Structure 1
Amino acid sequence: FNLTKRKKLMNSVLIENNNTHLKPSDESKPTSSDDCLATVVTNQEVHLGLSHKCVEIENKLKLLEEENARLKGEIINLTSQTEQLEAEKSSIYCQLKNVKESADAEINSRVQNILATVFTPGQIK
């Protein structure tokens, strides 16, 4: 619901509730003008109370919508940070792999040089 539709719905509920209170049942029909006035005052109080509740609900709803928007923004930021960290992780992994390959090649070269000084080419397998 958008806010206008929500207000119309709340108002129709208030009017319906107010009209319900304005039609007393046969058992409780007012017998004097004081009773009629008391019924009208009570109905106005009920209407005012319901109106106040509607405002409270709308305010809470607005706060929840704002919090929802804030959280969606946080999700977008966290998703972006996660993507950046994944890219950085991939880059570091590639660098580490290159360093390992380079170190392995250097170690193999040194081992071959050491073996060549101790053994003849026919003795090295």
Structure 2
Amino acid sequence: MKNAEVNRWLDFNKKRRLIEDKLDEQLAIQAHKLSLNEFYALYFLGLKDDEKLRLQELQAQVGLSQSAMSRLVVRLERPECGAIERTTCEDDKRGVYIHLTKVGEDVLKSTLPNIEPIIKENL
């Protein structure tokens, strides 16, 4: 039994996975060797004028669990990467802000030109 809506959803999902696989391949050969989720995190931070988001906001935008997001943040803030930094929210000491650093800005700027053509070609 065929269902047109389910088939459209499956086709869409297949195309999305294909694009994500191509993006992953491209990111893996870049100098910074980002994962796709790491790229997403930098990109979402770069969209903000002040280049910072609360950790929970960033987690929701990237679409990771709390523990997976914590691991991603640790990787991106390590000295060998240095793309982000954390600060405590002044209004709520339990809140954490994630900031894009100058290094993170440079990584994002150098990555985007290699990512855009893949998206354009496959949409």
| Max Rg structure | 1
Greater share of helix: 1
Q: Of the two structures, which has the highest relative contact order with CA contacts closer than 8 Å and spacing of 6 or more?
A: 2
TM-score (norm 2): 0.31
